[in-house]
Every structure is written in C-alpha cells, then in structure tokens.
C-alpha cells in the first residue's frame, strides 16, 4: 500500500518543542508519527524502557538442562570433549555465551545484556519488514510486539529460546525487504541470519532451504545469488557437522550423539494413551522390541536396585516419589508391561536413557507405520491447539493423558531447576542475588500488575492473533483467485473505475506468504515432534504479529473493494485528518534523526549500565 504523501512532509520548523508537546510526549509514544525516524525511535525507547524494567524487576530463569549450554561453551573455549548426551544441544546458544566472555569472566551479566538488546531490536525488525508496504501498519505491528511482552518473556532465561526468536525475526526481516525491493544484499543478510537460527535450535535446521526456495520463486532474480547463498550455507553446515563430530567425540562415542530419535519417538509413544492403543512389540517392529528388551536388561536384577535407575533417572525428590509409586513396586517384566499399558513422560525417559538414538528413530517409524491414523489424529489436534488454543501437553510425574497445562509468567517467578553445581561461584552468586534481593515496593507492584494482566490476557491475545492471521490468509487467497476484481465489476459496473483501482500487489501477497512460513513451519514441527504448550507458541508470537501487520497493510485496498471507491476514500480522508491532528501534538516528529538517536541510545545505555553496575556492586567480591 502506498504511503500517503502527507506522511512524508517535513515537521514544522518552529516552534520545535513546547511545554504542551512535552506534556503529551509519553502519550504520543504510542501513536504513529508518520515519519520513519520518529517511529523507529518510539519503538526503541518503549522497548528499552521495558527491557530495563525486566532487568531490575524480573528474575533469572535457569531451567533444567540450562547447565548443558554453559558446559558446552566452556568446552568450546577450552578445547575439551563432550559426552553424547550433549547431542541434543545445538552450538548456537553456547557460541553466544562464548561471545559474552562467560568462560573467562564467569559472569552471566553480559549474556543477559545481549538478550535484553535482542528484546529491544525485535520490534524494530518487525517495523522494518512492513514499512515499505505501510508505515502505519508497520508501527502498530511493532507496537503490538512491544505491548505483547513477547520480546521480554525469555530475556532472563538461560536457554536458546530468546536467541531462536531473535534470529527467526532477524531472518524474516531482510528476506521480506529483499522480496519488496529486490536488493541482493538483503538476500545475503537473510542467509547469515538463517544460519544463526539453524544452529540455535534443532527445529531451525530446515528453515534456510525452505525460505531460499520461497525467495527464488517470489523474486526470480539472478539464480547465481541464490546458488552462492546455498553454497555458503552448505559450507557452513559442513564445518558445523565437523565441529559436532569433534566436540562430541563421535569417533569414540558408545552411542549416537543425537536427539532426533528420542524426539521422534516422543509423540508416537505418549499419544497411544489418548487414542486407546496398546503397543505390542511383536506387532510394531523389531526396533521397538529391541528398545524394550534393552531397557529390561538395564533394570536387572530389580528395578529398585538397578544401577541404571540411580544413574539415569532417580535424582530429585519428585522423581523419587514417582518411582516409589510407579516403578519400584514392579519387577523388570512387570514394569515393561506398565510402560506399554500406561505411556507417560517418565517411562518415555527410561526408554530413551536406555537406548541408542538410532534405535529410537527406527522404533518411532515402526509405530507410525503400524498406526498411521493415530499420527494424523494427534498431529491435527496439536496444530489446531498450537494456532488457536495453546497450552496442552502430557505433563510430568503422573499418568494423565493430554491435558491443559498452567500458564507461567517466568520472568516474574524465575524458577531455578537446572544444576547450579556446574557453574562457577560468580555465576551462582548472580543467580542467587537476582532471585533474593529485596526489590523496591514499586518494582514489585509494577511486576505483579504486569504479571496479572499478562496471565489474564495471554490466551485471548493468542486467539485474537490466530484469527487475525487466519483472516490475513483468507485475504491472500481471495487476492490470488481474483475475488477483488470480480467484486469491483459487480459493484461498480464501471470498467474505468475498476482499472483505476489499485490491485492487491504481488509483493504484499508474497510478503504475507513468506511472513507466515516461520509460524506455519514451527506449528508443524511442534505438532509432529512435540506438544502445543505455551512456551512453543510464545516462541513464534512475534512472527505471527508480523504476519498480521502485513495483513493490516491491505486493509485500505479491501475497504475500497468492499465499500466502493468513493466511500473508502471518505473513510481514508477522515483517517488522514485524525492522523494530521495527532501529528501536530507529536514532539517526536519535530526532532532530528541525530536527536532521536541520542535520546534512544542514552535511554538504553543508561539503563543497561545502571543494572550491570548494580549487579557488579552486589555480587563481585
């Protein structure tokens, strides 16, 4: 959609700033300025303020498995080897930890500052991806990203989530600009970001080829640039494969350093509980039979006294309690029967810990071949939940079927479930101080208010985004089949007016399709290999908001199609008059790009530095 001319008019020369403009400046932060420099500054200032707030008020989230990323980073820094169980972790997040200086500083503060910077930048990327189509839609999509708190939910979490979200959005932004402008440098920027996303989370491994094909089909430029990007990606992944071969010591490992089989086995095994299927080793296949036989052998001479149990399962009080109720009372043969009769996460863990990943991969394929209808049913169920109603999973330490799970505002609770014993003393001090220091009452009150509002509204927000995104997809389909032209001919009966009406541009349609791919891809991968819990959905909320923003850019055109040229023009005129009125009282429009940059940088640097100095003062001895 073309940007209205009045949006590009220069701000009045005098007076630049008055007491009235200063008074309403906080309100105007939430309204589009119609100028790129001002809109960018507004989004950056709002993002920086929230990031600073969560640095001080939020709590570190150190989930189970977080310690593996720290050990991985140390291994890269010092050239040591890792055991095969680290194969479930990609190197992207450990490399970020490495770049933060953690192996030498033994501090987590630089990691959190990097992740806070990611949080500030992500709404700006959404804005940049839409701006060329509609400046107004771009600003409000970026603002929705900030207000949703999606960039900040995983900001103080030691895990790959924040990095994966950032690199996914960073990958989308230059790709959409490439589609909209045809400038080749953005194709190469997309390739670099896609590589980062691919090595940050296992689910990201197929993103680059998918988007490279989509970009070539859309732009149809010189194939040499796409070939060059493909070659660069292939070369990097070849080197990355060599890195994993070396650091995981695959040449001497006693088991496959991979998590693909275990992840593939998860849903085919657990979902038999929901669809009344009892797996029979003789009917499923030889690898499934082998997996159970190996586990049976590892449980000898008795489940309670097997060395395997103490080494690979029992450790926490909760695990001990579950084992006392549902493992220890049985003989090895009886426990195998329980595993077949009552599939659950804890039994799944036993099977995975006992077996090589390749055996699990083939066992998963055997279950899929024996029960293809079940695979289709739970995948369809999962994808519908993922899109429209997330928050379902098979929970731990019980025998319950697929069910709703609780929604947690992690930055307000900051659970520490990972093993702190592997961390240096300085990092442990930082985590403990962050969890325990007596925050000022105003910070606690603001955090509690945000937490309550977010917990109350998130499900509604997710559903609204889903339906708006689905509406955007319907709009694209309608544009592709020519419903707009048909409606114009039926309504106006005026060929000249129909020819004069701007069509739904191919660039906008292509942008919506590509913008949707990250969400659709993650929905499919999650539905097939994992479950539609809240965390997986929250990781793609920003790409969903970006897609909705692209759909918003088409609203003026569809108003003209549905209401006619004259009525749509009247609505547009009223909208522009309202916008003009807000521009008059917008201080940010009257500042130069240098002044806006100075204010933005001062806000972010001052806040980030204050938090870092505060933490150093209280944790460094």
Listed in sequence order, the residues at least 6 apart from 197 whose beta carbon sits closer than 8 Å to its beta carbon are 92, 164, 167, 168, 170, 171, 204, 207, 208
CB 218 within 8 A of CB 517: no
Q: What gap in Å lies between CA 269 and CA 373, rounded to an integer?
A: 14
CA dihedral for 28, 31, 33, 37, sign (positive or negative) = positive
At which of 370, 399, 420 does a domain end?
370
- The SS3 call for residue 61 is strand
- pLDDT tens for each residue of 350-393: 999 999 999 999 999 999 999 999 999 999 999 999 999 999 99
Q: 445 with 586, same domain?
A: yes
> Are residues 479 and 346 part of one domain?
no
- Count of the separate structural domains present in the chain: 2
250 lies in some domain: no
| pLDDT at 13 exceeding the cut of 60 | no
Establish if 394 belongs to a structural domain: no
Q: What is the pLDDT of residues 62-110, one digit of tens each?
A: 998 899 999 999 999 999 999 988 988 999 999 999 999 999 999 999 9
Question: Are residue 174 and residue 317 in the same domain, yes or no?
Answer: no
Identify the H or E element spanning 6: none
450 shares its domain with 564: yes
In a domain, 397, yes or no: no
The three state secondary structure string of 442-481 is HHHHHHHHHHHHHHHHHHHHHHHHHHHHHHHHHHHHHHHH
Q: What is the Cβ-side half-sphere exposure of residue 274, based on CA atoms within 13 angstroms?
A: 19
DSSP letters of 364-401?
Answer: HHHHHHH-HHHHHHHHHHHHHHHHHS--EE--SSS---
Residues 313 and 204 in one domain: no
Burial 436-472, CB ≥16 within 10 A → b, else e: eeeeeeeeeeebeebbeebeeebeebbeebbebbeeb
Neighbours of 474 (CB within 10 A): 12
- Asked if residue 160 lies in contact with residue 93, where contact means CB atoms within 8 angstroms, the answer is yes
Beta bridge partners of 404: 392
Using a 10 angstrom Cβ sphere, with 0-12 exposed, 13-18 middle and 19 or more buried, the burial of residue 478 is middle
143 pLDDT band, cuts 50/70/90, is: very high
Is residue 441 located within the same domain as residue 553? yes
The contacts of residue 568 (CB under 8 Å, 6+ apart) are 556, 559, 560
Read off the pLDDT band of 506 (50, 70, 90).
confident
Kindly provide the b/e burial profile for residues 196-224, where b requires at least 16 CB atoms within 10 angstroms of the residue's own CB. Answer: bbbbbbbbbeebbeebbebbbebbeeeee
Q: Which residue has the higher pLDDT, 298 or 475?
A: 298
- Give 496's pLDDT tier (boundaries 50, 70, 90): very low
Domain span at residue 596 reads 5-221+436-619
Q: For residue 416, what are the β-bridge partners?
A: 62
Using a 10 angstrom Cβ sphere, with 0-12 exposed, 13-18 middle and 19 or more buried, the burial of residue 479 is buried
- Residues 25-32 have a mean pLDDT of 92
Burial (Cβ within 10 Å: 0-12, 13-18, ≥19) of residue 252 = exposed
Burial of 59 (0-12, 13-18, 19+ CB in 10 A): buried
pLDDT confidence tier of residue 485, bands split at 50, 70 and 90: low
Copy the structure tokens of residue 350: 């036993």
**Could you tell me which residues come within 8 angstroms of residue 430 by beta carbon, excluding any fewer than 6 positions away?**
60, 107, 108, 109, 615, 619
Contact 508, 494 (CB under 8 A): no
DSSP letter for 413, please: H
The answer to whether position 587 is within a domain reads yes
Give the containing element (helix H, strand E) for 8: none
Angle ∠(65,69,71) on CA atoms, nearest 5: 105
- Classify residue 574: in a domain, yes or no: yes
| Averaged pLDDT for residues 212-236 | 89
What gap in Å lies between CA 500 and CA 272, rounded to an integer?
Answer: 58
Question: Last residue of a domain, which of 333, 354, 370?
Answer: 370
- Looking at residue 4, its pLDDT comes to 47
Give dist(CA 356, CA 362) in Å, integer. 11
Q: How far apart are CA 526 and CA 539, in angstroms?
A: 11
- SS3 for 348-372 is HHHHHHHCCHHHHHHHHHHHHHHCH
Taking only the tens place, the pLDDT of each residue in 179-204 is 999 899 999 999 999 999 999 988 77
Q: Are residues 549 and 615 in the same domain?
A: yes
Residues 358 and 445 in one domain: no
Considering the domain architecture, whether residues 101 and 200 belong to the same structural domain is answered as yes
pLDDT tens, position by position, 571-598 = 777 777 777 878 888 899 999 999 999 9
Asked, for residue 234, whether it belongs to a domain, the answer is no
Q: Are 54 and 175 members of one domain? A: yes
Query: What number is the average pLDDT over the span 434-456?
Result: 94
User: 296-312 pLDDT, tens per residue?
Assistant: 999 999 999 999 999 98
pLDDT category at 500 given cuts 50, 70, 90 is very low
Pick the last residue of a domain from 347, 370, 393: 370
> How much of the chain is in helix, strand and coil states, percent to nearest 5?
75, 0, 25
| 411 inside domain | no
Asked if 202 and 282 sit in the same domain, the reply is: no
Determine contact, residues 228/235, Cβ cutoff 8 Å.
no
Which of helix, strand or coil describes residue 62?
strand
Clarify whether residues 205 and 98 are in a common domain. Answer: yes
389 within some domain: no
Is pLDDT of 438 > 70? yes
pLDDT band at 504 (very low <50, low <70, confident <90, very high): low
């Amino acid at each position: 959609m073309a940007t209205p001319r009045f949006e590009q008019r220069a701000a009045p020369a005098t007076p630049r700033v008055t007491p009235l403009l200063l008074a309403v400046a906080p309100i105007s932060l939430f309204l589009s300025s119609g100028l790129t420099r001002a809109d960018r500054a507004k989004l950056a200032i709002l993002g920086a303020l929230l990031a600073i707030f969560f640095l001080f008020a939020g709590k570190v989230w150190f989930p189970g498995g977080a310690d593996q990323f720290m050990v991985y980073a140390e291994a890269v820094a010092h050239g040591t080897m890792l055991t095969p169980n680290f194969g479930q972790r990609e190197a992207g997040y450990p490399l970020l930890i490495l770049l933060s200086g953690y192996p030498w500083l033994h501090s987590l503060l630089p990691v959190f500052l990097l992740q806070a910077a990611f949080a500030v930048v992500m709404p700006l990327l959404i804005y940049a991806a839409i701006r060329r189509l509609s400046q107004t839609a771009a600003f409000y999509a970026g603002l929705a990203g900030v207000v949703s708190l999606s960039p900040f939910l995983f900001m103080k979490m030691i895990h790959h989530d924040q990095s994966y979200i950032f690199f996914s959005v960073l990958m989308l932004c230059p790709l959409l600009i490439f589609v909209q402008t045809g400038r080749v440098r953005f194709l190469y920027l997309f390739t670099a970001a896609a590589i980062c996303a691919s090595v940050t989370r296992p689910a990201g491994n197929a993103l680059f080829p998918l988007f490279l094909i989509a970009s070539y089909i859309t732009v149809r430029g010189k194939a040499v640039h796409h070939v060059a990007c493909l070659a660069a990606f292939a070369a990097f992944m070849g080197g990355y494969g060599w890195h994993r071969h070396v650091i995981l010591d695959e040449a001497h490992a006693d088991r496959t350093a991979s998590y693909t089989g275990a992840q593939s086995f998860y849903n085919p095994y657990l979902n038999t509980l929901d669809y009344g299927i009892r797996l029979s080793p003789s009917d499923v296949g030889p690898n499934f039979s082998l997996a159970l036989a190996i586990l049976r052998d590892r449980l000898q001479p008795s489940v309670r006294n097997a060395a395997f149990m103490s080494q690979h399962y029992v450790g926490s009080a909760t695990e001990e309690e579950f084992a006392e109720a549902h493992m220890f009372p049985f003989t090895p043969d009886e426990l195998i029967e329980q595993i077949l009769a009552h599939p659950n996460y804890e039994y799944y863990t036993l099977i995975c810990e006992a077996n090589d990943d390749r055996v699990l991969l083939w066992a998963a394929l055997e279950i899929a071949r024996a029960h293809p209808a079940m695979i289709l049913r739970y995948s369809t169920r999962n994808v519908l939940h993922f899109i429209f109603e997330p928050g379902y999973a098979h929970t731990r330490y019980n025998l319950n079927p697929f069910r709703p799970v609780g929604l947690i505002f992690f930055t307000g609770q900051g659970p520490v479930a990972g093993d702190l014993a592997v961390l240096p003393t300085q990092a442990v001090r930082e985590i403990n101080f962050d969890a325990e220091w007596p925050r000022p009452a105003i910070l606690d009150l603001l955090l509690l208010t945000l937490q309550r509002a977010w917990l109350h509204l998130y499900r509604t927000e997710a559903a609204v985004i889903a339906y708006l995104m689905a509406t955007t997809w319907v709009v694209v389909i309608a544009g592709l089949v020519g419903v707009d032209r048909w409606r114009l001919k039926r309504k106006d009966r005026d060929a000249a007016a129909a020819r004069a009406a701007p069509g739904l541009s191919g660039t906008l349609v292509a942008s919506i399709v590509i913008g949707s791919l990250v969400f659709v891809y993650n929905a499919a991968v999650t539905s097939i290999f994992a479950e539609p819990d809240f965390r997986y959905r929250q990781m793609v909320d920003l790409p969903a908001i970006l897609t909705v923003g692209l759909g918003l850019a088409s609203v003026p055109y569809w108003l003209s199609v549905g209401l006619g040229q004259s009525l749509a023009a009247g609505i547009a005129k009223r909208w522009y008059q309202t916008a003009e009125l807000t521009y008059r009282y917008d201080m940010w429009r009257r500042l130069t790009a240098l002044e806006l940059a100075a204010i933005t940088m001062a806000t972010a640097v001052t806040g980030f530095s204050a938090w870092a100095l505060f933490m150093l003062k209280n944790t460094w001895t």
